[in-house]
């Protein structure tokens, strides 16, 4: 059996809890282009740091002139490769709101065909869904194997949707 098979099984087993965490993240209105949501951008950064610390990362919120970044490190075996996961937690504005079928910050699973569901909500595809894929994969790998197979650095920024001015 490969090292990945039991991790994939664990991801399947953890799916309900993973979706609960993702939906919690998606419900935070981290709209970087609107100063009214600055506190929500910080809230997401702090939420991500807490989740990363729970799975053994040395994680911190890094202040910038704009919205904070999340930087996290996890050691791996000596001589192992070092990989970087990049993502962003900020989202686009939701206007025009009348084009949304549901509240954009009330994520849900939606049936779109026979045996096919999608996650709805602002940020589910760009980019909170993807960054949580990194987090949940690391969580499942550690649950199965006890440690990660390589050194990992994570950088999640909060200004990608506004041109990443603080990420020079």
Give the CB-side neighbour count of residue 38, counting CA atoms within 13 A. Answer: 7
DSSP type of residue 72 = E
Q: Strand (E) positions, 28-146? A: 58-62, 69-74, 82-88, 108-113, 116-120
Residue among 122, 107, 130 nearest 33 (CA): 122
Look up 34 and say whether it is catalytic: no
The answer to whether 129 and 119 are in contact (CB under 8 A) is yes
Spatial distance between the Cα atoms of 9 and 98, rounded to a whole number of angstroms: 40
Please pick, among 40, 90, 136, 157, the residue that the annotation labels catalytic: 90
Look up 160 and say whether it is catalytic: yes
Residues annotated as catalytic are: 90, 160
């Amino acid at each position: 059996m490969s090292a990945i098979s039991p991790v994939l099984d664990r991801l399947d087993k953890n799916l309900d809890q993973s979706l609960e965490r993702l939906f919690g993240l998606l419900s935070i209105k981290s709209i970087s282009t609107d100063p009214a949501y600055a506190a929500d951008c910080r809230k997401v950064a702090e939420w991500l740091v807490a989740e990363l610390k729970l799975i053994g990362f040395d994680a911190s919120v890094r202040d910038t002139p704009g919205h904070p970044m999340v930087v996290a490190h996890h050691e791996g075996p000596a001589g192992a490769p070092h990989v970087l996961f990049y993502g962003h937690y900020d989202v686009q504005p939701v206007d025009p709101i009348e084009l949304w079928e549901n509240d954009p910050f009330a994520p849900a699973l939606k049936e779109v065909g026979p045996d096919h569901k999608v996650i709805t909500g602002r940020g589910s595809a760009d980019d909170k869904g993807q960054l949580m894929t990194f987090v949940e994969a690391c969580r499942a790998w550690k649950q199965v194997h006890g440690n990660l197979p390589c050194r990992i650095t994570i950088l999640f920024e909060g200004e990608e949707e506004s041109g990443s001015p603080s990420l020079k």
